Structure formats: structure tokens, C-alpha cells
């Protein structure tokens, strides 16, 4: 159930950003499909996964305790 909620949220975020990227490409690029447009669409698919991965790793990875202070 929790996985379904996460996947639905991921899909919602991806669809919103894909829509914005497609509209921007139509407006600015005059309908051209170049490498930067494909890169932007790929980034729309990848960044939510990378953000979630970073948050999960930061949350559950133990912080090493240093006896020397901050540095």
C-alpha cells in the first residue's frame, strides 16, 4: 500500500514536470526536438528518484561520531 502511494506521488510529480518541459519546448524551441530537449525530459524522469534516494540514505545511514569535534 505504501509503495503504491509513493509510486502515485512519483507519477504525479513526473507528469507535472514533463508537461511543463514539453510546453516550454514548444514555446521556446518552435517544435524542434534537439538533444537538450531530450535531456530535459530525461531529467524529469530521473530527479524525483534521485531525491528520494538521497533523503532515504540520509535518514537511515548512521552518522559517524568524531571525537575531534566538527572538523
SS3 assignment, position 71: coil
| Torsion angle of C-alpha atoms 54, 45, 13, 59, degrees rounded to 10 | -10
Model pLDDT for residues 10-36, shown as the tens digit of each residue: 889 888 888 888 888 888 866 777 888
Check the CA dihedral 33-37-43-44 and report its sign: negative
Q: Say what the pTM is.
A: 0.60
- 21 neighbors 44 (Cβ within 8 angstroms): yes
Nearest partner of 14 among 50, 54, 58, judged by Cα: 50
Residue 34 phi/psi, 5-degree rounding, is -110, -175
Model pLDDT for residues 30-67, shown as the tens digit of each residue: 677 788 888 888 888 888 888 888 888 888 887 777 66
Amino acid at each position: 500500500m505504501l509503495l503504491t502511494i509513493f509510486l502515485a506521488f512519483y507519477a504525479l510529480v513526473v507528469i507535472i514536470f514533463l508537461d511543463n518541459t514539453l510546453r516550454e519546448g514548444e514555446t521556446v524551441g518552435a517544435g524542434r526536438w534537439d538533444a537538450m530537449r531530450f535531456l530535459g525530459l530525461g531529467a524529469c524522469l530521473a530527479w524525483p528518484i534521485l531525491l528520494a534516494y538521497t533523503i532515504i540514505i540520509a535518514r537511515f545511514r548512521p552518522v559517524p561520531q568524531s571525537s575531534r569535534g566538527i572538523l
